Amino acid sequence: MTTPVTQASTYQLSVDGHRGTRAVQRLIEYAPASGGLALWMQHRDVEVPPARAARAHRGSWIIGNDGSTLYYGPGFDSLPLQEQTGLVAHQVLHVALRHVARELALAQRIGAVDSELYTVCADAIVNASLSGLEWLSLPAGSVQLETLLQRALGIDAPVDTSLLRWDTESLYRAIDDRQSQGASATRTSSNRKDDGDAGETELADESRIRQADGPRAAVARHLAMNILRDLVPDDAAPPETEAEQQRQWSERLSRAHAADGEQSLLRQLLADSRAPGMPWEQLLRTRLQRSLAQVGELNWSRPCRSWIANQGRTAGGRRLPWEPGYSHARRCTRLCILVDVSGSVENALLQRFANEIDRLLRTLRADVHLLIGDDRVRARHLLRPGVKPLREIEFGGGGATDFVPMLAAATELRPDMGVFLTDLAGPAGEPVAWPLLWLVPAESRGQPVPFGQRIVLD
């Protein structure tokens, strides 16, 4: 009989293993590499569920994880082995894909995150990955990715295509259309005095959220009525270790998937298995600084310093041929910023973009031209640091969308590089002869880029 342990313990202390032992053995039997990922995790039996992992309704809690440890409730023993295997595989992928840590990181970037909606998105992706395996089963009522996309977003696409396109963060932000971000199902420790108080606070918080749900969030929350609250954020986990954990798990996933082939827990190397990229501000800053950096030019009217130091001779006294020096480029580089104001770019995103450009203006040695328009150019500005910040410029528009007039106006300026803030919902015409970056909102990541390169403003 398994010896119960307190939640403060680190490992399961029992010669009989833990409640999930048989399921882990079955995972390793059918998928030795990807199922063996469970051996990198800790496993513990608990009699009382973690306060933040209770069901939305007051039912029995079965299983969950805090990003490193799998917790098994008393009800886990009574399930069929095939369903136990499915639940353990589900938790293993949650841990391997770092969903708990990524929820906390997302909250730091965008503010309060609705834990229930986030769990729905993470569960949908994990369940889609496991849906092709016949030797395990998922509980009734599990959220399926194709159902979530079709009902909440109106997207009808094959599972394999959706797994390559959607990660948990982008799916959450597409579904979260709540009008107010003030209420959240994520509660701080000050809200948790005991289980009773925590339950009342949780239900109160969720009531406020339901009143603020938009149509997409309401559909997702309805689909999540019977799912487990299986993501248990650990507020005590040191954030400085997460980058290394993310790297290690990414490598383990890649090796395990390659070794197991068709029996892999990962249906394919889905988009969610890739670590979230660097923030778009840093990516944009790096691209612009590299492309607009001043490059020295050969100057045949003056010798290089090493030639002068050696007096034009080798150590043996033999004369060296003339070696030209370098001088700074005389022409100042030119950046052209184009902003689509047809009404499809949200003001909050436009403000973040303006703040980043204002910071870049203080470091870039370049002429920066701003073009504002929709189906035609409506305003032009020459931006200089300390004169008038971009965030103070009014962006008026709201008409139809046509990129051709704006790109033509930018071409007349002969830019060294261009940046176009838009949702890509418009014709672009022929490719331009200068490098162009399309900065698009996360909702438009699926739109094709006519030419140039894309940066997703996630």
Q: Are residues 355 and 251 in the same domain?
A: no
Per cent of the chain over pLDDT 70 is 78
Count of all residues that appear for the chain in the document: 458
Residue 296, pLDDT score: 61
Over residues 258-305, the pLDDT tens digits come to 888 788 888 776 767 765 555 677 777 777 777 776 656 666 767 877
Model-wide pTM > 0.85 = no
For residues 247 and 142, state if they share a domain. yes
Q: In the numeric block, which tokens belong to residue 116? A: 């229930």
Question: In this structure, is residue 207 part of a structural domain?
Answer: yes
* Residues near 416 by beta carbon (within 8 Å), at least 6 away in sequence: 291, 292, 333, 334, 335, 366, 434, 435
E strand residue ranges, 266-424? 297-303, 324-327, 333-340, 366-373, 377-383, 417-421
Residues 171 and 29 grouped into a single domain: yes
- Looking at this protein, which amino acid is placed at residue 179? Q
Residues 301 and 207 occupy one common structural domain: no
Calpha distance 143→121 (Å, rounded): 9
Could you tell me if 103 and 168 lie in one domain?
yes
Q: How confident is the model at residue 315 (pLDDT cuts 50, 70, 90)?
A: confident
Q: What is the mean pLDDT of residues 196-209?
A: 43
Spatial CA neighbour of 121 closest among 253, 224, 8, 270: 224
Say if 70 falls within a structural domain: yes
Query: How confident is the model at residue 245, as a pLDDT?
Result: 84
Do 167 and 312 lie in one domain? The reply is: no
- Residue whose token pair is 């395996």: 133
> How far is the C-alpha of 242 from the C-alpha of 30, rounded, in Å?
30
Which CATH number do you get for residue 425?
Answer: 3.40.50.410
pLDDT, one tens digit per residue, over 61-100 is 789 999 889 999 988 989 999 999 999 999 999 999 999 9
In a domain, 394, yes or no: yes
Lowest mean pLDDT: which of 115-129, 335-349, 370-384?
335-349
What string of DSSP letters covers 82-132?
A: HHHHHHHHHHHHHHHTTHHHHHHHHHHHHS---HHHHHHHHHHHHHHHHTT
> What is residue 96's predicted lDDT score, i.e. its pLDDT?
93
Q: Which neighbouring-strand residues pair with 7?
A: none
Contacts of 71 (CB under 8 A, 6+ apart): 44, 45, 46, 49, 50, 53, 63, 64, 65, 232
Whether residues 245 and 318 share a domain: the answer is: no
Q: Side chain identity at 76, as an amino acid letter?
A: F
Same domain assignment for residues 111 and 257: yes
- Listed range (46-60, 135-149, 231-245, 415-429) with the worst mean pLDDT: 46-60
- Model pLDDT, residue 215: 92
> 417: which strand partners?
335
For residue 314, what are the domain limits? 297-327
Phi-psi region of 141 (alpha: psi -120 to 50; beta: other; left: phi over 0): left
Q: pLDDT tens digits for 303-312?
A: 877 777 777 7
Does 285 map to a domain? no
pLDDT above 60 for 190: no
Full strand arrangement of the beta sheet holding 333-340: 377-383, 366-373, 333-340, 417-421, 436-441, 453-457
pLDDT for residue 12 is more than 80: no
Is the pLDDT confidence value at 173 over 50? yes
Q: Residue 153 carries which DSSP code?
A: I
Whether residue 148 sits in one domain with residue 35: yes
Statement to judge: residues 70 and 94 lie in one domain = yes
pLDDT band (50, 70, 90) for residue 141: confident
What mean pLDDT comes out for the span 330-337? 78
Q: Count up the domains in the chain and report the number.
A: 3
Amino acid type, 424: L
Q: Could you tell me the end-to-end alpha-carbon distance of the chain, in angstroms, rounded to an integer?
A: 49
List the one residue out of 346, 458, 368, 356 whose CA is nearest residue 413. 368
pLDDT of 117 reads 92
pLDDT score, position 241 = 75
Question: Residue 37 to residues 51, 264, 284: CA-CA distances in angstroms?
Answer: 27, 11, 36
User: 170 and 75 in one domain?
Assistant: yes
- The rounded distance, in Å, linking the Cα atoms of 204 and 200 is 6
Supply the angle between the helices 168-175 and 115-130 in degrees, to the nearest 10: 130
267 and 342 share one domain: no
Residue 117's nearest CA partner among 54, 171, 163 is 171
Assess if residue 396 is contained within a domain: yes
* d(C-alpha 141, C-alpha 372), whole Å: 49
Q: What DSSP character marks residue 374?
A: S
Q: Which residue has the higher pLDDT, 445 or 413?
A: 413
